[in-house]
Chains A and B, each alone.
Chain A
Amino acid sequence: MQTTPTHPAKPPAASATAKTDDDKSLALRINGRAYAFDGDDTMPLLWFLRDVLRLTGTKFGCGIGACGACTVLVDGKAQRACVTPMKTLAKREVTTIEGLAGSELHPLQQAWIEIDVPQCGYCQAGQIMAAADLLKRNPNPNDDDIGKISNLCRCGTYPRIRKAIKRAAEISKERAAREGGKS
């Protein structure tokens, strides 16, 4: 496995203050790119994403895993980056909001635009990542399923989040049908 960053991490590499030998560096993938991390491995993923990689779509809201603004996918499952120490991420695949879209927007992103979900917008990346996990497990979530998403929104966008998740489920089906039609 590649152990040097293939993505140009912008300075300052704040985490790399206690440089150890290469064997101790920790390899992980973020949005499909390989990274090596050799800093303080108690540091939460949130600060690696934000301070080091400048992937600021993942937000800081509480630092205790209570609000979900920092939700990312780790091996496809929603996880709160503010309480995820780097040391738990060896050989793991992390997806942030910046890496969610493929060649086109993720159905959730598309639906969020159509339904005009965000007000201030700060929690929305986390909401979308939590919803991405839900849709993967449950392509047709009902209101009870959606209501289990525990991310906070002070603006009160929950009703439109619900609508957008349902709309995203439709978009996924439309896209699948389209893809099916092509093949």
Chain B
Amino acid sequence: MKRDKTLVNPSRRKFLVVGAAASGALVVGWRAANAQSSLPYLGARIEPQSLGAFVRIEKSGDVVIGARGCEIGQGVKTSLPMLIAEELDVDWHHVHVEQLPYGYIDTDKGPSDKYGDQSAGGSTSITTAWKDLRQAGATARWLLLVAASAKLNLPAGQLRTESGNVIAPDGTKLAYGELVGAASALDPPTESRALKKPEDFKIVGKPTLTVDTREIVTGQTQFGIDVYRAEALIAVVARSPWIDGEITNLDDADARKVAGVKDVVRIAGTKSGEPFDGALVDGVAVLATSTWAALKGREKLKIEWKPGPFAEESSDALHRQADDLLKPANAGKAVAVRRDGDIDKARKTARKTIDARYTVPFLAHATMEPPAALIHVEKDKVLLIASLQDPEGASEVISAITGVPRSKIEIRLTRAGGGFGRRLKNDYIAEAALIAKQTDKPIKLIWTRDDDLRHDFYRPFCVFQMTASLDRKNEIAAWSARCAATPRNHREARMKDRPLWASTLAPDDFPAGLIANFDLSLLPIESGQPRGWWRAPAHNATAFAVQSFIDEIAVALKQDPLALRVKLLGEPRELPYKGHGGPTFDTGRMAAVLKAAAEKIGWGRKVDADRGLGIACHFTFGGYAAHALEVSAIDGNVVVHRAVCAIDVGRVVNPLGLEAQMIGGTIDGLSTALNLGITLKEGKVQQSNFSDYPLLRMGQAPVDVEVVVVDSGKEPSGAGEMGLPSVLPALTNAIYAATRVRIRELPIGDQLRKIL
């Protein structure tokens, strides 16, 4: 066997291992190949052409680069290999990108990651890769230089590289393909190699097409849901409509009579009150030879449920809870998030107080590809192929359910039909494992759209009570935000040591640090609904409240909304920012994107009588975004005539990808603000499909989104989430400018049609 043969001298075969340890510390090192699991992939391919875990160079000179990230539409399958290719110094058109599997390895010190952090969450892929993947490329290049040095009998310092060649002072060229055999036998360097200077970049910063568009547009790409196995049974699950509901009676006789149905099995969801770390709720799985048979079988199931403790929950009741919690009598229930100065004292001396209340609903993720998984559980090994955002979590949950050690769980990553945070939860993987454990066949689990909308981990429902106290000089002397919300931190083991407000509120969000007397607190609403990370967690709600309220203050003060924001931000400086995206918040970068958006839309110009301009900005996970919109709302029908998004994510890796993320974030945000909300009645989610959870269609979206990139040249942040938060308040601020109607509750729905 090929693999055995190449393991003859394992001490010479090592892989670059980059472990982002649980502490967050980055460990770059080389690991002997015999620590590998048996994954038949690029990194594990112990062939003479491999240079570390990410790079393989064919004798032809073709360069194969492994893409480690979960591609959910954020572009990492292109942008991460670009970073490696840059430092390797090869021509991008000679690069082929291969998706890597999840790279779990056992070590003496416990579990490690062969390829570093592979998850997709928090817009962190680029920031992480900027450090470790460039080094992987530089290390591979160094090995080639050393090999060339030996071959040419010249010091490596006299050699340079260009376009996949090592070049000697006399012009002699050695192609990487000729050197890779010798280079791959070398001992890896003991220290990090120097990286290119930005002015020498040839790939980073250049508009680069997505590497696999051809496969996508010809129908060849296999998303997780597209993976079949001849012997696999297709499974659909009838789930408890209520959180913590239980099956009291199951009659599956009719379901089993449906042609093609092979089996009906029960799966246990999370026990009442326990963390949602397995399958979400109890269910009955129908296993069939086709999806259609499985769906028909599911319809024939007769299940009696005990609804559980949340059977009475409704959106009306949640609103009442919020109203009640926000009463002064319940101030004692508030959990402090941040408190500066003395709010009460400032209020007493205030010339004027402005209050407003903003409400955002539960939101579902509604990824276009519903949750699905192909899994084969055998006695001593497991294979999973699925669209994921957190393969490490998937590996853990499968191991917990099946008892198979993680080193024997092979996880292949596919391109995912959207993520938006949904796939950071592995409940659907747990379901697949629970089903597969009860059969010896592979299982292909499919969720329908109603399964998806009704059994999601929702963006928290939040009601923000905002109060600003203005002093005699019309300065904002005090700012208070009390947020009644179903906290994101709810029944989740990995968040148990974090504060209750984590991922619901961000303590250092604008305008914290800019107003002397500042108060931010959380009033927890009780709800049974699971809550999850949804594109730009916390920020997708807080930006709406803060940036709407700033606008209302501007109106009250008869000040220009842009000027007020710029004034509040003040002199360019860095403020401490403790949460994700910190350690600092740069007021100058925030002001710069605001001004860029304003300039692009022509802020201050006279618009048609039925139109209005709105602006807003927000800092999300290290990225600075501002939106400016031109809107009309004749008879309550909102039309976005122009949409501008200005963005500073530091150094841009792929401008084409960045623009796509900003266009997408903008339209996703408009879609969300206009129409999307999950509501509850009698403990059940009321929405079931795109008919009542209506994503924006092309004709309703702006024809274009004008993206302005503000190049600060700073360390790069990601880009997947920053394009969303500020567009929601920019929209409602523009609607106010056009109509003098202030939208304080999302979604906008038919609120305007009722008024105008």
Contacts and interface: CB of A to CB of B under 8 A. Distances in A.
**Which of B230, B368, B668 counts the most A-chain CB atoms under 10 A from its CB?**
B368
Nearest to A147: B699
Given A56-B222, A154-B367, A66 B690 contact: yes
Contact of A156 (B234, B260, B667): B667
A140 interface: no
A160 B705 CA distance: 10
Contact of B293 (A14, A147, A155, A156): A14
Contacts of A154: 366-368, 418, 420, 668, 671, 695
B228 interface: yes
Interface stretch (B28-36, B467-475, B656-664): B656-664
Interface residues of A, number: 67
A144 B234 CA distance: 41
A12 B233 CA distance: 10
Contacts of A14: 260, 288-290, 292-293
Given A152-B368, A158-B701, A128 B217 contact: yes
B588 interface: no
Nearest to B670: A156
Interface string B441-479: 000001011000000000000000000000000000000
B213 A117 contact: yes
Contact of B660 (A58, A101, A119): A119
B116 interface: no
Nearest to A58: B219
Contacts, number: 213
B638 to A, nearest CB: 15
B213 A54 contact: no
Contact of B290 (A47, A98, A152): A47
B209 interface: yes
Nearest to A130: B698
Nearest to B417: A122
Contact of A159 (B216, B292, B705): B705
B237 to A, nearest CB: 15
A112 interface: yes
B675 to A, nearest CB: 12
B221 interface: yes
Contacts of B698: 146-147, 149-151, 153, 158, 161-162
A17 B292 CA distance: 12
A120 B290 contact: no
B58 interface: no
Interface in B486-521: none
Contacts of A101: 218
Interface residues of B, number: 67
A182 interface: no
Contact of A118 (B216, B222, B226, B289): B216
Nearest to B213: A113
A145 to B, nearest CB: 10
A84 interface: no
A62 B449 contact: yes
Given A150-B697, A152-B368, A60 B219 contact: no
Nearest to A42: B292
A14 B696 CA distance: 36
A66 B450 CA distance: 13
Interface stretch (B68-76, B130-138, B278-286, B679-687): B68-76
B695 A152 contact: yes
B417 A120 contact: yes
A51 B234 contact: yes
Given A51-B292, A150-B699, A62 B367 contact: no
Given A15-B292, A113-B214, A152 B697 contact: yes
Contact of B663 (A10, A105, A118, A159): A159
A87 to B, nearest CB: 13
Contact of A160 (B74, B220, B367, B660): B660
A143 B641 CA distance: 13
B226 A56 contact: yes
B418 to A, nearest CB: 5
B667 A158 contact: yes
A148 B699 contact: yes
A93 interface: no
A96 B449 contact: no
Interface string B223-264: 101101010001000000000000000000000000110000
A120 B369 contact: yes
Given A60-B225, A97-B219, A149-B698, A50 B291 contact: yes
A113 B72 contact: no
Given A57-B220, A98-B219, A67 B663 contact: no
Most buried by B among A149, A152, A162: A152
Contacts of A22: none
A132 B234 CA distance: 32
Given A66-B689, A98-B218, A152-B697, A157 B664 contact: yes
A124 B216 contact: yes
Interface string A1-28: 0000000001110110110000000000
Interface string B697-715: 1110111110000000000
A44 B660 contact: no
Given A17-B259, A17-B260, A154-B668, A67 B699 contact: no
B697 A59 contact: no
A60 B290 contact: no
Interface in B341-373: 366-370
B690 A62 contact: yes
A158 B585 CA distance: 32
B415 interface: yes
A134 to B, nearest CB: 11
Given A44-B292, A159-B705, A64 B218 contact: no
A123 to B, nearest CB: 5
Given A14-B292, A121-B221, 13 more contacts: A10-B230, A15-B292, A51-B291, A56-B222, A97-B218, A108-B217, A112-B217, A116-B209, A120-B72, A120-B369, A120-B417, A151-B698, A159-B701
Closest 5 CB pairs between A and B?
A57-B219, A122-B417, A14-B290, A120-B73, A156-B667
Interface of A: 10-12, 14-15, 17-18, 40, 43-44, 47, 50-52, 54-64, 66-67, 69, 96-98, 100-101, 105, 108-109, 112-113, 116-125, 128, 143, 146-162
5 contacts: A60-B291, A64-B689, A64-B691, A109-B218, A154-B671
